[in-house]
Structure 1
Amino acid sequence: MMSWIDISQPLTNHIAHWPEDQPFIYETTVTKANSGSVNIGRITTSTHIGTHVDAPFHYDTDGRRILDLDINRYIGDCTVIDLSGYDAISAAALQSQLTERVERVLIKTSLPNNPEHFPENVPGVTRDGAEYLNSLGVKLIGVDTPSVDDISSKALEGHHALYEHDIYILENVMLDNVTPGNYELIALPLALKDADGSPVRAVIRPKGVVS
């Protein structure tokens, strides 16, 4: 029986975070020694830490929040492709690896997936790349980078282009050791009612495996 593959970045006190954003902090605020019964932890975090999803409210003040989104988008068949030879997630790059209809696509880029290092540049999704994904019926894109746009971008062209085609966004998946092909995906956000994003535990399993 093939096991599920965890493609999440572990949340630790050393995980990289967006410059000037809230870092992830876990601390034990109640100990069994002091309470006599339990240990209790507390986390302080950004909603865009590690492996996470974006809600449209993240880049559109009038956009939907996490609980407004269709949870079914985050569960189901997906295809993993390798675009590590390209410097942008463009239509041309996508056409080289993806030609059949698919609802979810996870993209391996040239960026080494190091959870403790925040990159200076990443290959972003172009407008024609989003249009091409839409033509194939894609409803969710996952990338192994902190953003679907260049780190310094203020216009966030990739985010907005994907939004125009109702394509959901999953970021910072770990694909360095994943073979391109067809998988099942589970990447559920937390039920954060008014949030602009959420950390997720993302896992994949090769297609055709019965549990």
Structure 2
Amino acid sequence: MSKWIDISQVLNNKLAHWPGDEPFHYETSVTKEMTDSVNIGKITTSAHIGTHVDAPFHFLNDGKRILDLDIERYIGPCKVIDLSDFDEISETAIKTKEISHVERLLIKTALPNKPDRFPEEVSPITENGAAYMQSIGVKLVGVDTPSVDKVSSKDLTGHHALFKHDIYILENVMLDQVEEGDYELIALPLALEEGDGSPVRAVIKPIEES
């Protein structure tokens, strides 16, 4: 029987964060010695730390928040593809994989999975890439980078294009050791009522042929 594969970045105090954003920090603020019964941890963090999802409110003032989103998008069959030979996730790049239909697409790029280092640049999703994803049924796309846009981008073309084509965004999945193929995905966000994003525990399991 196939086992679940954890494709999440581990949350610890060494984890790289977006420059200028709130880093992840955990501390045991109350100890068993203090209470005679329990240890209690405290977390401070950006909502976009580690492996996480974006809600439209992240880039649209009138966009939906995390709790408004359809959780069904984050659970179900997915396909992992390797586009590490391309410097952008475009229609041309995706077509090299000859995908006819998929609802959840996880994309491996040339960026090595190094959670303690924030990358200088990433492979962005282009407008025609987003449009082509919609044409083959994609409802959620996951990337192994901290953004679906260039790090230097201010207009966030990829984010807006994916929103236009009704595709949810999952970022910072760890795919270096994952082979291309078909999997089951679970990547549920926290129930953050006002959240513009949320960390997730993302796991996949190979779909075994019957």
- What's the TM-score bracket when you normalise by the shorter of the two chains? over 0.9
Q: Paired residue for 2:6?
A: 6
Q: Normalising by structure 1, report the TM-score.
A: 0.98
Is contact 1:82-1:108 (8 Å) kept?
yes
Q: Paired residue for 1:150?
A: 150
Is contact 1:2-1:209 (8 Å) kept?
no
CA distance in 1, matches of 2:199, 2:165: 23
Q: Paired residue for 2:73?
A: 73
- Greater mean alpha carbon deviation, residues 196-205 or residues 93-102: 93-102
Q: Paired residue for 1:193?
A: 193
Q: Paired residue for 1:131?
A: 131
Q: How many residues align?
A: 210
SS of 1:137's equivalent in the other structure is: coil
1:34 is the counterpart of 2:34: yes
SS of 2:63's equivalent in the other structure is: coil
- Greater mean alpha carbon deviation, residues 22-31 or residues 97-106: 97-106
CA distance in 2, matches of 1:100, 1:71: 24
C-alpha spacing 1:9/1:108, structure 2 compared with 1 (3 Å): same
Which structure 2 residues correspond to residues 37-186 of structure 1 after superposition, within 5 A?
Answer: 37-186=37-186
CA distance in 2, matches of 1:197, 1:94: 26
The one-character-per-residue Cα deviations of 1:73-121 (angstroms, maximum 9, x if unpaired) are 0000000000000000000000001421000000000000100000010
SS of 2:187's equivalent in the other structure is: strand
CA distance in 2, matches of 1:117, 1:95: 31
User: What is the Cα deviation at residue 209 of structure 1?
Assistant: 7.9
Q: Normalising by structure 2, report the TM-score.
A: 0.99
> Percent of counterpart pairs with the same letter?
67
Segments of 4+ moved more than 6 angstroms:
none
SS of 2:188's equivalent in the other structure is: strand
CA distance in 1, matches of 2:180, 2:18: 28
SS of 1:163's equivalent in the other structure is: helix
C-alpha spacing 1:13/1:36, structure 2 compared with 1 (3 Å): same
> Considering only aligned residues, what root-mean-square deviation do their CA atoms show, in Å?
1.0
C-alpha spacing 1:98/1:196, structure 2 compared with 1 (3 Å): farther
C-alpha spacing 1:209/1:35, structure 2 compared with 1 (3 Å): farther
CA distance in 1, matches of 2:32, 2:98: 53
| Structure 1 stretches lacking a partner, 5+ long | none
CA distance in 1, matches of 2:98, 2:148: 18
